[in-house]
Amino acid sequence: MSDISDLIDFDSLLTSEELALRDLVRSFVDSEIKPNIAGWYEKGHFPVEIVPQLAKLGLLGMHLKGYGCAGRSAVEYGLAGAELEAGDSGTRTLVSVQGSLAMSAIYKHGSEDQKQEWLPAMAAGEVIGCFGLTEPTAGSDPGSMTSYARRDGSDWILNGAKRWIGLASVAQVAVIWAQTKDGVRGFLVPTSTPGFTATPIGPKLSMRSSIQCDIELTDVRLPESSVLPNVVGLKGPFSCLNEARYGIIWGAMGAARDSFEAALDYSKGRMQFDKPLAGYQLTQQKLVDMALEINKGFLLALHLGRLKDAGRLQPDQISVGKLNNCREAIKIAREARTILGGNGITLDYSPLRHANNLESVRTYEGTDEIHTLILGQKLTGVPAFR
């Protein structure tokens, strides 16, 4: 199942196991996501019904080991993410919020009891999780969060607000990050806890087949056992964000590839001035430029994945991939739409839907500006965030 955009025999760089997983996820997307996504997107429907199918494929927390998780490699996780996002960014985001954010937080920073309580059920799709870091006035600067947890005897009392929290209204457990007198701590909050309210945000022009919410936390009382015991400070949520950012590197290229394929297929069949659009030099230049960036983007993703599997991937290297691949993917989706002409603004074709979704993808887990400044500091040694 090689890709028509592959100009460099990319598949030869993958193992048979990696290719088999990619093809398995691609088949699922082709049969379950692509036939339905236009309707879901138009209606603003989040397909919670596919969660058990994703679990059956071993895609929830797939990069974690034990606790019912598949224990897949970073490259396998990336390949799966690319295929899911070729269907829709919302589908890959579902897997990312569940596995890279909520489950990773418990896996990395939770107690053994917390891991045993939550991770097997989350891997099986029986429990959905969310990850509450961003606030209405604290996006790129999470250190300015105002959510606060205070002691009350042996309990904690949590107050605050979170915004743009994926899956929150359908989740059974929320990982909430809040200030305490000792620094930022993570709390496992069952969403049935009194004082926890999640409200979907809408209407949206992007990620319409996905759920993002406002969360209100009003005197939420939690036992000591709800605290993630093994981390204090922003390094806790940042370690999870890096997992999610890594997945985006692959996912964005999946959306780009699908946009390219839609434009290429259309250009071969659309006749103008007595020949197909594909026979015009301007169209071929667009197609070639798109294919080159897709090939380079996947090579970058694979290189970073191999580094991650070797335990050598650095946060600034993740910024290279996130910044480049999101930026190029949205250009590709927009350029693909031009080949489709007026028909490209309908949901009969994927590029403009992908472009709209990628506006969100390039914003969450670090904006272009934030990743530029991370890399600027890497190059110059001078932080320029303030």
What residues act catalytically? 365
Residue from 177, 208, 184 nearest 46 by CA: 208
What residues does 182 pair with on adjacent strands?
none
What's the Cα-to-Cα distance from 197 to each of 135, 136, 219, rounded to whole Å? 14, 15, 11
Distance, CA of 245 to chain centre: 7
Classify 96 as helix, strand or coil.
helix
Phi, psi for 317 (deg, rounded to 5):
-70, -35
Residue from 284, 366, 359, 257 nearest 322 by CA: 366
Count CB-CB contacts under 10 A for residue 108: 17
What is the rounded CA–CA span in Å between residue 313 and residue 293?
22
Give the pairing type, strands 129-132 and 196-200: unpaired
What is the rounded CA–CA span in Å between residue 255 and residue 330?
9
What is the rounded CA–CA span in Å between residue 158 and residue 72?
36
Task: List strand residue ranges (DSSP E) for the chain, in order.
Answer: 65-66, 69-70, 129-132, 148-152, 155-166, 173-180, 183-190, 196-200, 212-222, 271-272, 275-276
What residues does 173 pair with on adjacent strands?
129, 190
